[in-house]
Amino acid sequence: MKILGIIPARYASIRFPGKALIDIQGTSMVQRVYRQVSRVSALDKVIVATDHSEIFEHVHQFGGDVYMTSPHHPSGTDRCREALNLLSENYDFIVNIQGDEPFIDPQQIMDLTSNLNSQIQIATLAKKITDRRSLENPNEVKVIFDKLGKAKYFSRSPLPHCRDMPVEAWSSSFDYYRHVGIYAYREDVLQEITSLDVAPWEKAEGLEQLRWLYHGYQVDVFITQHQSLGIDTPEDLKKALDAGMA
């Protein structure tokens, strides 16, 4: 099985413009992500897919494999598809690794790739929620899945709602899971899902993965013990550095 790792890295960001190039103790964000992802032996190739010449040149300078893609893609999934189509090689699965997670643990990617097989359409990760703050935080997406590990729904709200029980008791009465935003797409499925119409669920929650569920695609959910930390704002980076993550 051949697996391609793609790191989408766009320049524009409302809350943190140019964050892919931000210096983190002597190393750029995108280089840190690339370095971590390159440690995953299960990936046959790792590339950066960008929309900006500065990021392109920077990745080229540190020796990374980089491809220029359109600045008009609405999501990282669309950017992954274009980058895949620029390659001459064929791959069974494409893994979309967020370009704003400079502290990603390679084991997290292994938790995903080690479970892939030809029957899977799309796969992602989840981590058990252990505190009420995360449970109630709408910025931390929750996922609920059946006994076979198939995602049933993603939401910014806790799933399920525990009736007749105070919120502070929910996490001790039911296993809630936070969605970890890394995806593996089977090659043919990636080509298909980027042509789907926007779904009502997606509009309501602002979550792209709901489009896939709405249109009947299966998303397999695998459990990880490793926390993912995205850097969306300068404040996020400061908190990570203050916590000694770099």
Q: Is 240 inside a domain boundary?
A: no
Give tens-digit pLDDT for 72-82: 999 999 999 99
Query: Are both 186 and 130 inside the same structural domain?
Result: yes
The answer to whether residue 244 sits within a structural domain is: no
Question: Which of 116, 105, 94 has its CA nearest to residue 183?
Answer: 94
pLDDT-based confidence at 16, cuts 50/70/90?
confident
Q: 64 with 122, same domain?
A: no
Tell me if 65 is assigned to some domain: yes
236 within a domain of the structure (yes/no)? no
Same domain (yes/no): 131, 66: no
Residue 85 shares a structural domain with residue 152: no
Provide the pLDDT for residue 240: 74
Which residues on adjacent β-strands are paired with residue 180? 125
pLDDT digits (tens, 9 = 90+) for 158-174: 999 998 898 888 888 89
* Mean pLDDT along residues 10-37: 88
How confident is the model at residue 13, as a pLDDT?
Answer: 74
28 found inside a domain: yes
pLDDT on residue 113: 98
Average pLDDT over all residues of the chain = 93
Domain containing 156: what range?
Answer: 105-228
pLDDT band of residue 229 (cuts 50, 70, 90) is confident
- pLDDT-based confidence at 246, cuts 50/70/90? low
Residue 237: inside a domain: no
Domain boundary among 100, 128, 147: 100
How would you label 222-245 residue by residue, b for 16+ Cβ within 10 Å and e otherwise?
bebeeebbbbeeeebbeebeeeee
In this structure, the answer to whether residues 63 and 90 fall within a common structural domain is yes
> In this predicted structure, what is the pLDDT of residue 4?
98
Most confident of 138-147, 159-168, 230-239: 138-147
Neighbours of 184 (CB within 10 A): 28
The answer to whether residue 52 sits within a structural domain is yes
Q: What is the mean pLDDT of residues 136-154?
A: 96
* Cβ neighbours of 217 (radius 10 Å): 18
pLDDT at 239 over 90: no
Section 107-120 average pLDDT? 97
Identity of the residue numbered 159: L
Residues 89 and 118 in one domain: no
| Judgement on whether residues 142 and 224 belong to the same structural domain of the protein | yes
pLDDT tens profile 204-218: 999 999 999 999 999
Establish if 34 belongs to a structural domain: yes
Please tell me whether residues 117 and 134 are part of one structural domain.
Answer: yes
The pLDDT value given to residue 185: 98
Q: In which band, very low, low, confident or very high, does the pLDDT at 243 lie, cut at 50, 70 and 90? A: low
Q: What is the pLDDT of residue 230?
A: 78
Q: Do residues 91 and 36 share a domain?
A: yes
Of 10-14, 68-72, 131-135, which gets the smallest average pLDDT? 10-14
Alpha carbon separation from 180 to 14, 51, 108, 209 (Å, rounded):
22, 24, 9, 12
The larger pLDDT score, comparing residue 244 to residue 109, is at: 109
Q: Whole-model pTM?
A: 0.94
Q: Does one domain contain both 95 and 146?
A: no
Residues 6+ apart with CB under 8 A from 201: 153, 207, 210, 211, 213, 214
Assess whether 10 and 117 both reside in one domain. Answer: no
What is the total count of domains within the chain? 2
Q: What is the CATH number of the domain that holds 188?
A: 3.90.550.10
**156 and 79 fall within a common domain:** no
60, 80, 100: which is the final residue of a domain? 100
pLDDT by residue (tens digit) across 26-66? 999 999 999 999 999 999 999 999 999 999 999 999 999 99
